[in-house]
């Protein structure tokens, strides 16, 4: 697609994964349009995979709150704060981390929201309180969301996807044992890291996570519908098919924004 700049070098996301004072080692690529997107969908609907494909296509940084908690859990060199220790324990049980902890973690990293490369928020917001706090933070940073992409899939397909999902222990690339297998079993195509099954992708955690999603995250669909930024995307089929669907939806939004100078999703406000 001509109006999207392909990212040449992937950011190590140090500013996001480690928080301040860490800075990303790869400078932000020039992008034609800094996309600012939220990805919604039940666990297993394919948000992480789409975020990875979108990052490569659009140059925007993949900001996953789950990756921050997993990075904290795996950094054995430093002692975790009491809040982060509780967050990691909640994550292991498949429960949501408290809004207070998630929001203080996000506020520390607010600079990532005004990054010139744009962002793809994955796994945040997960509650209406988080969505409201995000709106406030975006206002403070003087940036606006282009769209909220909601990936939709029936529950049986979600369970099948989650139980077959494997993640690279080093670069966090996402695979599926049948749907998106690595070239070499259990080895990451990108960095050669070992592929693992996330603790929270085990059956007992999947059930808890689905309940948490229905209770806390599904109401976000109405929240963003009311704001006029929600885009519903059927999440069946291969990752490539879902990606094509996503790009088809985003392409006219770029043209619309360029023509009017307005936000890609609604005509009520101008782009920052």
Chain residues in the site for ligand AMP (CB under 6 A): 43, 64-66, 69, 90-91, 94-97, 102, 123-124, 126, 130, 200, 209
CA distance 156 to 195: 24
Residue tagged active-site, from 13, 70, 109, 126: 126
Residue carrying the six token digits 């592929």 = 195
Q: Which is nearer to ligand AMP, 11 or 130 (CB)?
A: 130
A 10 A CB-CB count for 70 gives 20
Nearest approach, Cβ of residue 124 and ligand AMP (Å): 4
Q: Which is nearer to ligand AMP, 64 or 144 (CB)?
A: 64
Which position's Cβ is nearest ligand AMP?
A: 66
Nearest approach, Cβ of residue 67 and ligand AMP (Å): 7
Whether the Cβ atoms of residue 229 and residue 147 lie closer than 8 Å to each other? yes
CA distance 183 to 96: 34
At what angle are helices 82-93 and 203-212 packed, to 10 degrees?
110
Q: Which is nearer to ligand AMP, 32 or 136 (CB)?
A: 136
* 209: annotated active-site residue: yes
Nearest approach, Cβ of residue 66 and ligand AMP (Å): 2
Residues recorded for the chain? 272
Nearest to 246 by CA among 30, 7, 57: 57
* 202: annotated active-site residue: no
| Active-site annotation, residues | 47, 126, 165, 198, 209
């Amino acid at each position: 697609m001509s109006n999207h700049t392909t990212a040449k070098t992937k950011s190590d996301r140090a500013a996001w994964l480690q928080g301040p004072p860490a800075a990303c080692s790869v400078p932000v690529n020039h992008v034609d349009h800094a996309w600012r997107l939220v990805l919604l969908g039940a666990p297993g609907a394919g948000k992480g995979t789409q975020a990875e494909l979108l990052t490569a296509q659009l140059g925007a940084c993949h900001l996953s709150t789950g990756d921050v908690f997993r990075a904290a859990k795996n950094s054995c060199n430093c002692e975790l704060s009491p809040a982060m220790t509780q967050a990691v324990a909640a994550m292991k049980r498949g429960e949501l981390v408290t809004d207070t902890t998630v929001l203080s973690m996000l506020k520390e990293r607010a600079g990532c929201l005004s990054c010139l490369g744009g962002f793809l928020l994955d796994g945040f917001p997960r509650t209406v309180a988080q969505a409201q706090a995000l709106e406030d933070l975006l206002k403070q940073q003087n940036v606006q969301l282009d769209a909220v992409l909601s990936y939709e899939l029936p529950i049986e397909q979600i369970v099948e996807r989650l139980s077959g999902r494997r993640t690279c222990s080093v670069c966090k690339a996402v695979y599926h044992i049948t749907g998106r297998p690595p070239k070499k079993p259990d080895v990451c195509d990108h960095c050669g890291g070992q592929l693992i099954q996330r603790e929270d992708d085990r059956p007992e955690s999947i059930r808890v996570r689905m309940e948490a999603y229905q209770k806390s995250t599904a109401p976000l669909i109405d929240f963003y519908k009311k704001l006029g930024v929600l885009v519903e995307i059927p999440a069946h089929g291969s990752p490539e098919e879902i990606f094509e669907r996503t790009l088809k939806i985003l392409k006219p939004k770029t043209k619309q924004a360029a023509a009017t100078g307005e936000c890609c999703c609604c005509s009520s406000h101008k782009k920052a």
